[in-house]
Chain A
Amino acid sequence: MKGIRIRSYVIGFGLSLVLTLSSYFVVKHHLDTGHLSPSHSAGRGAVMILAISQLLVQLYFFLHVRRNRASAWNAAAMAFAAVIVVILVAGSLWIMTNLDYHHAHNDLPNHSDSEIIKDEGVGP
């Protein structure tokens, strides 16, 4: 952990601040215009891109993950964890949006609710 300078943290802090505030203003603007501008999907996209960008900024400037020999093992462990995370999150989303509850007999409205009530013996 030698050779790290204050500048790294200052730049990282500054960039993170900008990215955080950008996300905030995107959402504020969206709410102030009655969920019109930007659109739901554009707003979501913007927030996610800003989040990933801030992740990269903090990995580089705060956690000092660099492309040098010293960080190679750290980067490898992180890449592996990333693979697991992607499978976990994408897989869960894929499976859960394709359940029978959501797809079968979709002619009736609230069919999945009545199925759940019947199956579980509960009610709202």
Chain B
Amino acid sequence: MSQTPNSADQTDKSLFGFWVYLMTDCVLFASLFAAFVVLRDSTWGGHSAGALFSANFALTETLILLTSSFICGLAILSAYRGQKQRASWLFGLTFVLGVAFLALEIREFNHLYQLGDSWRRSAFLSAFFTLVGTHGLHITAGLVWIATMLWRIRRTGLSQHNLKQLTMLSLFWHFLDVIWIFIFSIVYMLGLI
């Protein structure tokens, strides 16, 4: 199962390129965080973070996503060891946890919308929906990617090509959990204090 020097170099370059993409994604999220922090008190007479957020709910979402990131790590390890069935099950579990997270988030968005606290209500809410919504869109893209990889593993197994893509996928998924740490802390925890 050894690679020729060429393909190993290619993998390294691809992984580094993907890492650079993740760094640019960091800058994107930083700008959304900056906007949110500046606007968090601009409620235009409406509800503030303290009135709208629940610590228990935020914790639940966080634990689900954290577990998902952990399972993803176990999944990629199985893939490296050529354990096709196990890797598929673990990536599948990663997917299920990701869906659970997204479902909770959509429920919260809908709840706020029904209350009249949509993104149109105030600058604070605009910034909230933009920041958290962008993260949610990234999660959605990740879920599509996981599903695609599960299909590819079924069709062509754990080839070098698929392993490279699975590696990038797991980097992406871990990255999304890292961003969520800051959403949990800065939006929800600090919002409640």
Please list the residues of chain A having a beta carbon within 8 angstroms of any beta carbon in chain B.
Answer: 1-2, 4-6, 8-10, 12-13, 16-17, 20-21, 23-24, 26-28, 30-31, 35, 40, 43-44, 47-48, 50-51, 54-55, 58-59, 62-63, 73-74, 77-78, 80-81, 84-85, 88-89, 92-93, 96, 124
Contacts and interface: CB of A to CB of B under 8 A. Distances in A.
B103 interface: no
A8 B174 CA distance: 13
A22 to B, nearest CB: 11
B84 to A, nearest CB: 18
Interface of B: 15-16, 19-20, 23-24, 26-27, 30-31, 33-35, 37-38, 44-45, 55, 59, 62-63, 66-67, 69-70, 73-74, 76-77, 80, 167, 171, 174-175, 177-178, 181-182, 184-186, 189-190, 192-193
A23 B23 contact: no
A59 B175 CA distance: 9
Contacts of B27: 81, 84-85, 88
Interface of B: prevailing SS: helix
